[in-house]
């Protein structure tokens, strides 16, 4: 059998068997529509109520502040379009950063066509925004700030509670995209966020399900209309198995977080140190305050696409940039924002470790990579 | 064990074990992101490509004309908002009917706030629209017609290809909500539709996945923006297991359609005849051109909510109205459109049969129902 070392967990993860186990009864046995009034419907309603309560406990919020969506992209779209359009009479200025995920940037590009004014904050060479600069950028008609919790490409973890504090003081709505951050602290009160996006497909849960935490006081406009599910904010028949699944995935993430993060950090540091022993290689992104599973490396004089394909042949799966944009030929806007040239960005690859990643996997990866780079540079 | 006779298949269905079986490998084994360039990603990409091709063959269209969404509600929203907004410079008039699903009506109510002018066509007392009236309603600045294929409450099957022909002649975009019609002919060329919504959760497939068929020439605007998946029309990581699932569900639906429809029609007619033997009961909706599994009955002097609950106690699960609106206390807009008073509507219930429904189930339902109505009318 072909070796398979999956180092692309930031792109998507397998579904944890415990999560799938929790979901399975809801496909063919407890298959009711939670909106139905009969027992079969109530059985499903109880399942999604329980999931909502469990998630609310993890996020330290009210169950009614959890909106189920079809994934991280929809959660980000709902947060951004929803807030911007519902509050536009009070102001059309919005602040975000230059390193957001495409599912945040693309809605902002669309809002610019609707006459919203978006400020894209610079980041430093490790990907951090400067909270003081953020504070200065806030005008009287700024209504929304959206800054991601942890970056999907270079792993930079922003000081979310500090940003939250500034926004609270200024009376501005604060959204964070936490799709890469489920392994971090998700306490919405401590983080001082008003809106927070999460999804399951990157945290060993099923694809096709996401959450938007929305603080009760915040008004948003739906993007999908119909039967009025999710407090009139997201219509459509509830995806019961997936809702059960995301709750279970978040529960497991919380339980295993500390131990798993420590394990991953050790493996990550070991891999980074090993790679940097190869001549003319550089770490992209921060040394501290970095996602425990993220590694992003610039290899001088190496075509990253070719390297990814060569690693693939050796059974090592990693990526050049965000998988969410992998079909485009543009180089990474994140790497560009931290100061890399287009050439440097196109010589950079990302490894993202996961639960099943072992020391042995990392050793094999290091060995293979060292040989490959040598060979590729020779030609 | 409590008797369980599920007669609410129009609300949602269980997932067919063959569908679930097809989906399972894509949770924890073939879990890649189709956007990833490595083998694990390609494995997933092949799966969704195969699903798309299979569906295209069933709908008699090009694979690139299939857009995967999170369900029927999103497909309807994307079709309606997408077409209306992308073509608004050419005209803001739209025609629909008074008996559409809430996921069609609610987007139109929203569009009215955006200065679109919506014509809601009357239906006759069986729920049919009059194609001649439709033709007359078309103005020079009418851009879109949206008429559902089969009604979820009373089962009326519209003459879709006739409506399609009128729209083609007039050069108007034609959308149909086919979420209840997967058991019928889905040949988009014969139906002459430009846009058609389908979902899996009502046809023994998984919840949380839908399709929008979009004829190549039709321009629409996305409602969810991000990484540019689905030909830039629906961003968000592909829900691979569910995509595999909807293809399998549609394949099974096509294979078993003829035999199963005949079986259901017999059971349906038997149940209708039996119920109509109870004094002062009336069939809502058509006798011919009715969904093979749909029964909707007005019981004089009966509180439908109470009847549904009493049937539930006897292990029979049915509904008062669309489950998608079951949480509201409004009476059905569909029953009102075919001429029932509010009181009559609130004395009406729907049974929708399914693959596992047996003659024995129907006999038990008839017996229970006859006794219950007698008892309820006595008090």
Each residue of A233-266: pLDDT tens digit?
999 999 999 999 999 999 999 999 999 999 999 9
Q: Residue B326: its pLDDT value, please?
A: 47
Rounded Cα distance between A199 and B51, Å, is 24
Is B37 at the interface with chain A, CB within 8 A?
yes
pLDDT in the model for residue B90 = 85
B279-to-A26, A276, B71, B345, B377 alpha-carbon distances in Å: 39, 85, 40, 17, 11
DSSP, collapsed to helix, strand or coil, labels residue B147 as coil
Compute the nearest-CA separation of B57 from chain A (Å). 25
Strand boundaries in A195-247, DSSP class E:
195-199, 210-214
Residue with tokens 């909706």: B285
Structure tokens belonging to residue A152: 């999907």
Interface contact A31-B39, CB threshold 8 A = no
Task: Please identify among residues 291-320 of chain A the ones whose CB lies closer than 8 Å to any CB of chain B.
Answer: 305, 308-309, 311-312, 317-320
Closest CA to A318 of A10, A2, A1: A10
Cβ(B262)–Cβ(B270) under 8 Å? no
Which residues 99-158 of B have a C-beta within 8 angstroms of A?
101-103, 106-107, 109-110
Cα angle: B210, vertex B216, B217; to 5 degrees: 130
Distance of alpha carbon B205 from alpha carbon B100, whole angstroms: 23
In chain A, residues 16-35 whose CB comes closer than 8 Å to chain B: 16-17, 20, 27-29, 31-33, 35
Q: Which of A61, A167, A318, A324 is catalytic?
A: A324
Contact B314, B3 (CB under 8 A): yes
Q: Which of A227, A319, A324 sits opposite B226 (nearest CB)?
A: A324
- How deeply is A183 buried, as exposed, middle or buried, from its count of CB atoms within 10 A (0-12, 13-18, 19+)? buried
The pLDDT of residue A20 is: 98
Q: What angle do CA A57, A44, B371 make, to 5 degrees?
A: 145
**Helix (H, G, I), strand (E, B), or coil: what is residue B67?**
strand
A188-193 own/partner pairs: CB under 8 Å, 24+ apart: A188/A59, A188/A60, A188/A61, A188/A65, A188/A213, A188/A215, A189/A60, A189/A61, A190/A60, A190/A161, A191/A149, A191/A160, A191/A161, A191/A164, A192/A160, A192/A161, A192/A164, A192/A165, A192/A167, A192/A168, A193/A160, A193/A164
Q: Residue A96 forms beta bridges with which residues?
A: A120, A146
Of A31, A36, A236, nearest to B319 by CB-CB distance is: A36
Q: State how far the alpha carbon of A22 is from the alpha carbons of A9, A26, B220, in Å.
A: 22, 8, 38
Residues of B in contact with A322 (CB under 8 A): 227
pLDDT for B331: 84
Rounded CA separation B86/B83 (Å): 5
Report mean pLDDT in 10-residue bins for chain A, 379 residues. 89 98 97 96 98 98 98 98 92 96 98 96 98 96 97 98 98 97 95 98 97 97 96 97 98 96 98 98 97 98 95 96 56 95 95 98 98 94
Euclidean distance between CA atoms B322 and A306, whole angstroms? 54
Amino acid B256: pLDDT = 96
pLDDT, averaged across chain B: 96
Collect the ranges in chain B with pLDDT lower than 70: 1, 321-329
Q: Do B40 and A73 touch (CB under 8 A)?
A: no
Q: Report the pLDDT value the prediction gives residue A331, as an integer from 0 to 100.
A: 84
Chain A stretch 67-106, residues whose beta carbon is closer than 8 A to a beta carbon of chain B: 70-74, 76-77, 101-103, 106
Cα(B95)–Cα(B111) distance, integer angstroms: 12
Both tokens assigned to A222: 């739906």
């Amino acid at each position: 059998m072909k070796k398979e070392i999956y180092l692309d967990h930031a792109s998507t993860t397998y579904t944890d068997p415990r999560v799938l186990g929790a979901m399975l009864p809801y496909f063919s046995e407890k298959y009711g529509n939670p909106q139905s009034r009969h027992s079969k419907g109530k059985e499903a309603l109880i399942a999604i109520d329980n999931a909502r309560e469990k998630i609310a406990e993890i996020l330290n919020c009210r169950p009614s502040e959890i909106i189920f969506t079809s994934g991280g992209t929809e959660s980000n779209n709902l947060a951004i379009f929803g807030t911007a359009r519902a509050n536009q009479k009070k102001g059309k200025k919005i602040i975000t950063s230059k390193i957001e995920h495409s599912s945040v940037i693309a809605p902002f590009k669309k809002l610019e066509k609707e006459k919203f004014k978006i400020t894209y904050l610079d980041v430093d060479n490790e990907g951090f925004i400067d909270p003081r600069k953020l504070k200065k950028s806030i005008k009287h008609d700024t209504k929304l700030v959206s800054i991601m919790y942890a970056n999907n490409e270079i792993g930079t973890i922003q000081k979310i509670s500090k940003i939250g504090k500034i926004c609270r003081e200024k009376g501005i709505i604060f959204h964070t995209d936490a799709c890469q951050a489920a392994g971090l602290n998700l306490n919405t009160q401590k983080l001082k966020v008003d809106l927070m996006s999460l999804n399951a497909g990157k945290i060993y849960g099923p694809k096709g399900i996401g959450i938007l935490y929305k603080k009760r006081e915040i008004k948003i406009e739906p993007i999908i209309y119909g039967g009025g599910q999710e407090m009139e904010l997201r219509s459509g028949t509830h995806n019961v198995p997936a809702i059960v699944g995301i709750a279970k995935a978040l529960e497991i993430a919380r339980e295993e977080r500390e131990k798993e993060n420590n394990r991953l950090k050790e493996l990550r540091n070991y891999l980074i140190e090993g790679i940097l022993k190869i001549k003319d290689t550089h770490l992209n992104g921060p040394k501290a305050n970095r996602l425990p599973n993220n590694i992003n490396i610039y290899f001088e004089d190496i075509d990253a696409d070719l390297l990814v394909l060569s690693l693939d042949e050796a059974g090592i799966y990693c990526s050049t940039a965000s998988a969410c944009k992998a079909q485009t030929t543009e180089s990474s806007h994140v790497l560009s924002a931290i100061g890399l040239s287009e050439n440097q960005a196109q010589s950079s690859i990302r490894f993202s470790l996961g639960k099943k990643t072992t020391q042995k996997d990392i050793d094999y990866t290091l060995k293979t990579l060292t040989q490959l780079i040598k060979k590729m540079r020779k030609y």
